[in-house]
């Protein structure tokens, strides 16, 4: 009997806890089981990239480079795999080529062997630099097709993508079904057709959200898929992935037998069953099947986080509206696949549309940038009415977006000076400047550990109300989209524009209550809650109506606050780092 063992990539150290536990698993909970994981014989272990880098420095006070290094010492035999967002690296914007190249090289240094590289728009110009650099380093490129469903996405298009990935130098083709949208027939057809035109191995990544994952796996195996992604059973299913033990047991004694030891996997599962209890506060109530995801197309990690944050704010009644708004926004924006960062862009815009009560009343800067082509080419035409709101002439970027970026490394080194000189620290800063500086200050210092508390049931009271009112008829909401925390507010005062920005690594400081204004000047009030990211004026400066006076940080985005009148800055009532609420006075313009 001819055998062709199915190869398994284990996701428990990355996408499994990103999908179920908001990416909060700490390195100290990974190391004790690392040697057991190394004994299994996985094709690879995904343990880095995606949201883990950001979460390490933002929430866990951990150095992500040290995590990779520590795990490699414990697991020298298993290839390490990471998720790389092409020109976005592990961040949320396009970085210059010199940053991407250095990031890849340093990732190889800490032990990454397989780079799963994707672009959210399937614009492969955005993965060229990453692919070339991985190849130069002698490691493995797994180029991705970001699978989605729309009127413009079909089998023929995906076959063309597979050919393009092969011609670019991919060693493996990954079908990345981040929202669990594949159906059995499409799974079999897509893999079979790619097999006819390419000799490269095919790796399937999919989620269990819609309940079709078992049938999809079976159809993939029948079609000859070479590798599949799974998660140890205690961190599987729901918004996560198919259980590793299930696939191993199902193939036992068949030509596709994985050869993995179920007894060893049971030990590993027992360990993570206990570890999972440490993160109960982050766990989603979504543990079953939601076939409606085939309509909303929301990725696994996005659902649990939105639900959790809405519940905490007693605003779960808004969840269904947001889920329905997501596909509408996606259509308006030209059907981008929902994967970071476009999932964040579409998700946050949909949330704003629902919570403000008016579609596109507030348009985030990142939505604007995406529509203007600065993330790459969108798959389909953009809604004309929406485009008119973001561009007067309708012109969009048609070159590779990174071609418009100047090299960044020298600037990074200059800004950090002699204080932080290691390659890793400089790269961390290049990717997340504000968060990195805060992390550098707290690195190595004891931090609170997660408390094993169960999530509050739906409908219970939460620390803060779903909606709070502020002067000027504003309303405040808090949500979490795709693992990202957002505070959203609509206010009658102050013009704002929004784009992703770093958030503090710890809880925000108490809100500053500026002194009431005096004299004949007119106060500029905060249009939304957040912190003061940077000041663009000083006392005595002359300003015109519409000039940017300061930049706030809210929803993990930078929001410009513009002068509401022309005049002179009489008094500055806040400083960088201060936390403010809607209606707080920021400056006095006379």
Q: Poorest-confidence range of 376-380, 400-404, 498-502?
A: 498-502
- Measured CA to CA in angstroms, residue 446 lies from 61, 87, 118, 476, 499 at distances of 9, 34, 36, 33, 32
pLDDT in tens, 343-401: 888 887 887 788 777 899 878 888 999 999 999 999 999 999 999 999 877 789 999 99
pLDDT in tens, 244-269: 999 999 999 999 999 999 999 999 99
What length is written for the chain? 590
Is the pLDDT at 462 greater than 70, yes or no? no
Mean pLDDT of 406-418: 97
Residue 353's nearest CA partner among 330, 378, 382, 377 is 330
Rounded to an integer, what is the distance from CA 377 to the centroid of its chain?
A: 20
Q: How far apart are CA 458 and CA 466, in angstroms?
A: 13
pLDDT band at 461 (very low <50, low <70, confident <90, very high): very low
pLDDT computed for residue 230 by the predictor? 99
pLDDT computed for residue 449 by the predictor? 61
Rounded to an integer, what is the distance from CA 183 to the centroid of its chain?
A: 25
For residues 552 and 47, the model is more confident at 47
**Any idea of the CA torsion for 122, 125, 130, 132, to the nearest 10 degrees?**
130
pLDDT computed for residue 499 by the predictor? 41
For residues 301 and 321, the model is more confident at 321
pLDDT computed for residue 328 by the predictor? 95
């Amino acid at each position: 009997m001819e055998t062709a063992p199915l190869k398994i990539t284990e996701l428990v150290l990355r996408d499994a806890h990103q999908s179920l536990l908001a990416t909060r698993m700490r390195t100290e909970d990974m190391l004790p089981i690392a040697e057991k994981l190394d004994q299994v014989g996985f094709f690879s272990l995904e343990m880095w990239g995606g949201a883990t880098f950001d979460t390490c420095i933002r929430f866990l006070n951990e150095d992500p480079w040290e995590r990779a290094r520590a795990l490699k010492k414990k697991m020298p035999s298993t290839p390490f795999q990471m998720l790389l967002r092409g020109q976005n690296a592990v961040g949320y914007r396009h970085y210059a080529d010199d940053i991407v190249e250095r990031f890849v090289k340093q990732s190889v240094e800490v032990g990454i062997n397989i780079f799963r590289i994707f672009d959210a728009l399937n614009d492969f110009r955005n993965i060229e630099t990453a692919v070339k650099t991985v190849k130069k380093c002698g490691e493995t490129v797994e180029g991705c097709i970001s699978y989605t469903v729309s009127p413009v996405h079909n089998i023929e298009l995906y076959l063309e993508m597979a050919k393009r990935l092969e011609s670019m130098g991919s060693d493996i083709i990954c079908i990345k079904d981040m929202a669990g949208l594949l159906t059995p027939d499409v799974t079999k057809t897509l893999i079979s057709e790619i097999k006819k035109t390419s000799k490269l191995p095919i790796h399937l990544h999919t989620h269990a959200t819609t309940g079709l994952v078992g049938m999809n796996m079976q159809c993939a195996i029948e079609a000859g898929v070479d590798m599949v992604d799974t998660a140890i059973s205690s961190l599987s299913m729901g918004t996560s992935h198919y259980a590793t033990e299930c696939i191993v047991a199902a193939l036992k004694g068949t030509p596709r037998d994985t050869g993995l030891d179920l007894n060893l996997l049971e030990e590993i599962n027992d360990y993570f069953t206990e570890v999972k209890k440490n993160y109960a506060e982050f766990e989603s109530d979504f543990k079953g099947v939601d076939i409606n995801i085939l309509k909303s197309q929301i990725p696994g990690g996005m659902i649990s986080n939105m639900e959790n944050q809405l519940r905490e704010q007693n605003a779960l009644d808004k969840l269904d509206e947001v889920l329905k708004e997501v596909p509408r926004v996606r259509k308006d924006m030209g059907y981008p696949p929902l994967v970071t960062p476009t999932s964040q862009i579409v998700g946050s815009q949909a949330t704003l549309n629902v919570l403000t009560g008016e579609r596109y009343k507030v348009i985030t800067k990142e939505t604007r940038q995406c529509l203007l082509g600065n993330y790459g080419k969108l798959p389909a035409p953009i809604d004309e009415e929406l485009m008119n709101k973001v561009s007067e002439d309708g012109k969009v970027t048609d070159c590779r977006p990174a071609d418009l970026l100047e090299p960044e490394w020298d600037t990074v080194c200059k800004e950090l000076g002699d204080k932080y000189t290691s390659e890793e620290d400089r790269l961390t800063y290049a990717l997340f400047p504000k968060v990195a500086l805060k992390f550098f200050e707290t690195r190595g210092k004891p931090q609170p550990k997660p408390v094993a508390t169960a999530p509050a049931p739906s409908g219970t009271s939460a620390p803060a109300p779903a909606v709070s009112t502020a002067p000027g008829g504003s309303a405040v909401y808090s949500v979490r989209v795709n693992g990202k925390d957002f505070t959203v507010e609509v206010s009658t005062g102050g013009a704002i524009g929004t784009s992703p920005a770093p958030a503090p690594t710890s809880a925000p400081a108490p809100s500053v209550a500026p002194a009431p204004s005096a004299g004949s000047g007119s106060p500029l009030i905060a249009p939304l809650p957040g912190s003061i990211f940077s000041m663009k004026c000083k006392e005595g400066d002359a300003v015109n109506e519409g000039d940017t006076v300061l930049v706030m940080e809210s929803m993990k985005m930078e929001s410009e606050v513009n002068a509401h009148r022309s005049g002179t800055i009489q008094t500055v009532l806040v400083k960088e780092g201060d936390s403010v609420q809607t209606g707080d006075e920021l400056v006095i313009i006379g």
